[in-house]
């Protein structure tokens, strides 16, 4: 399987054999589709986080972005022209923290997929010392429908809310899973927002903001620096969560890029945890990362 992150030069060299996917989405309500239609990598299809990568459930039962049923995911991919044998290269304009959800979903179900390192800015030539600007297209890209087989989400790559709760109650990380929170530190520490009913984090979790996997120019940190951030010891069972199971995928992909264990995703994440008044909440810096 290809590495979880590839650069622009790799994409250029393999253009004929990949499907490009634009997965822009904004927490503030701006339209990712509008951004895509204003200018995207030529040939890229738009993948809507809210419709193609999310089930529509009660947030209290599964969080704000629960994983879709495998059949629904397969139908969405097939309708976009993504088939079983396609290699998908996904990007956004946020360093891959949104597009990582699609890449993680594809990789854990056995499909070839990677993030474009440096986001769409790398394609546009916006990075210092990066490649020259490349053409972008406006409007929509249409591909013929493809055959995409539904595959169950692998249980060994997921963690339930009860497994997250059990991990939070065991202080000895040598025998318990390690919970890592991919949200910005201020949200981890308890800064209020309008997204979820409570602010804070799961007790015992470590603050590991996924955006800190990136250098100032938006490209992924070198492998050695990723290992310093994300290596929690030999054989560590890492459960990654965030606000709603989207940006948590970036930490899991960065771990894989660094040659560490695959880790597990808690899809419901804080949006599910915080909607249950019986769940304990911790604020402040918590355990050091």
Q: Give residue-wise pLDDT tens across range 1-13.
A: 999 999 998 998 9
Would you tell me how many other CB atoms lie within 10 Å of the CB of residue 23?
Answer: 28
User: Do 30 and 104 fall within a single domain?
Assistant: yes
Q: Give residue-wise pLDDT tens across range 127-139.
A: 544 455 677 888 8
User: Do 159 and 78 fall within a single domain?
Assistant: no
278 located within any domain: no
Residue 128 confidence (pLDDT): 45
145 located within any domain: no
User: Do 115 and 32 fall within a single domain?
Assistant: yes
135 located within any domain: no
Active site residues: 242
| SS (HEC) of 190-257 | CCCCCCCCCCCECCCCEECCHHHHECCCCCECCHHHHHHHHCCCCCCCEEEECCCCCCHHHHHHHHHH
Q: Specify the range with the lowest mean pLDDT, choosing from 118-132, 137-151, 271-285.
A: 118-132
282 located within any domain: no
Q: How many domains is the chain partitioned into structurally?
A: 2
User: Do 66 and 110 fall within a single domain?
Assistant: yes
User: Do 11 and 85 fall within a single domain?
Assistant: yes
CATH code of 245's domain:
3.40.250.10
Which region, left, alpha or beta, applies to residue 105 given φ > 0 means left and ψ of -120 to 50 means alpha?
alpha
140 located within any domain: no
For residue 233, the enclosing domain spans: 155-273
Mean residue pLDDT of the chain comes to 92
82 located within any domain: yes
User: Do 26 and 79 fall within a single domain?
Assistant: yes
Task: Give the span between the Cα atoms of 20 and 11, in whole angstroms.
Answer: 9
Residue 175 confidence (pLDDT): 62
Q: Give residue-wise pLDDT tens across range 191-221.
A: 988 899 999 999 999 999 999 999 988 899 9
- Predicted model pTM: 0.94
Q: Give residue-wise pLDDT tens across range 221-238.
A: 999 999 999 999 988 999
User: Do 9 and 120 fall within a single domain?
Assistant: yes
Task: Give the span between the Cα atoms of 198 and 191, in whole angstroms.
Answer: 10
User: Do 116 and 173 fall within a single domain?
Assistant: no
User: Do 16 and 120 fall within a single domain?
Assistant: yes
Residue 238 confidence (pLDDT): 96
279 located within any domain: no
Q: Give residue-wise pLDDT tens across range 9-46.
A: 899 899 999 999 999 999 999 999 999 999 999 999 99
User: Do 120 and 164 fall within a single domain?
Assistant: no
Q: Specify the range with the lowest mean pLDDT, choosing from 63-77, 80-94, 136-150, 263-277.
A: 136-150
94 located within any domain: yes
Task: Give the span between the Cα atoms of 70 and 74, in whole angstroms.
Answer: 6
User: Do 112 and 160 fall within a single domain?
Assistant: no
Residue 138 confidence (pLDDT): 86
Residue ending a domain, among 101, 124, 147, is: 124
User: Do 113 and 162 fall within a single domain?
Assistant: no
Residue 286 confidence (pLDDT): 66
Res. 289: pLDDT tops 50:
no
């Amino acid at each position: 399987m290809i590495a979880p992150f590839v650069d622009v030069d790799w994409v250029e060299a393999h253009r004929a054999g990949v499907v490009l996917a634009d997965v822009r989405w904004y927490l503030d309500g701006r339209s990712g589709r509008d951004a895509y239609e204003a200018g995207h990598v030529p040939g890229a299809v738009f993948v809507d986080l809210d419709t193609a990568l999310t089930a529509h459930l009660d947030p209290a039962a599964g969080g704000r972005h629960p994983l879709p049923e495998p059949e629904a995911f397969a139908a969405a991919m097939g309708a976009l022209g993504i088939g079983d044998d396609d290699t998908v290269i996904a990007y956004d304009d946020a360093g891959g923290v949104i597009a990582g959800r699609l890449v993680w979903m594809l990789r854990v179900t056995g499909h070839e997929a990677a993030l474009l390192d440096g986001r769409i800015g790398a394609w546009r030539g916006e990075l210092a010392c990066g490649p020259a600007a490349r053409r972008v297209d406006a409007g929509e890209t249409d591909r013929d429908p493809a055959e995409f087989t539904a595959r169950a989400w692998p249980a060994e790559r997921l963690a339930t809310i009860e497994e997250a709760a059990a991990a939070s109650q065991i202080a000895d990380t040598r025998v318990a899973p390690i919970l890592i929170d991919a949200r910005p530190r201020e949200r981890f520490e308890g800064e209020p927002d309008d997204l979820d009913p409570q602010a804070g984090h799961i007790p015992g979790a470590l603050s590991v903001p996924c955006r800190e996997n990136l250098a100032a120019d938006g490209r992924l940190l070198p492998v050695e620096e990723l290992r310093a951030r994300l290596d929690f010891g030999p054989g560590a069972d890492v459960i990654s969560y965030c606000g709603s199971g989207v940006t948590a995928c970036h930490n899991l992909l960065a771990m894989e890029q660094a040659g560490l264990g695959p880790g597990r995703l808690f899809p419901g994440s804080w949006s599910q945890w915080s909607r249950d008044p019986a769940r304990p909440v911790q604020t402040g810096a918590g355990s050091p990362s």
